[in-house]
Amino acid sequence: MSELKTERIILTPEAYVQCVRSLLDEVGGWCAARSLTTQEGVVRLREEDVPEYEAPSLFISKDGVPKAKIVPIGLNILGAQGRVDLSGRVTRQPLLYRIGKGAASSTQSDTKGKTGTSSPRWLSDVERDGWYWIEGNILRPKLVDESLFVDLLTYVLNHEI
């Protein structure tokens, strides 16, 4: 017998804003190390079943020329507890905030009454709380670190920074 259990962890708007702020602070340091300038902005978010709230955004430029931005999308995200988009002139890449292991798992019982749980790979590969980029072809989450951020920034800009 197999059944799907959904254990959804929902962040408050305040907790989501703090997660976004932590990411933007980290990104600001990574950008400064590469002679990129950052400037914060504010986005007003309206989501179902959540009071309207404001969250920080980040604009990235080089030598006064806008290059990319990180914009919060919201906290009501399927399979995650939040999302921001890294956008450049060519494309955008979503970054998802995940808490712990997966939010959905299936429970299976065998004929002897033993039960076990499993999560879809893209949920179970999450090792710790943090911002993740989900690799599109194989749905494998990768924790966003400086190296991955620079790769993604290069991708959305379609050129080296």
In order, the DSSP letters of 73-99 are EES-BTTBSEEEEEE-SS-EEEEEEE-
pLDDT in tens, 131-150: 999 987 667 889 999 999 99
Q: Which residues pair with 104 in a beta bridge?
A: 6
pLDDT in tens, 21-73: 999 999 999 999 999 999 999 999 999 999 999 999 999 999 999 999 999 99
Measured torsion, CA atoms of residues 26, 28, 31, 36, in degrees rounded to the nearest 10: 180
Residue appearing with tokens 């399927």: 78
Q: Where are the domains of the chain?
A: 2-157
pLDDT in tens, 15-30: 999 999 999 999 999 9
Q: Sheet holding 2-6: strands in order across?
A: 2-6, 104-109, 115-118
**pTM summary value:** 0.81
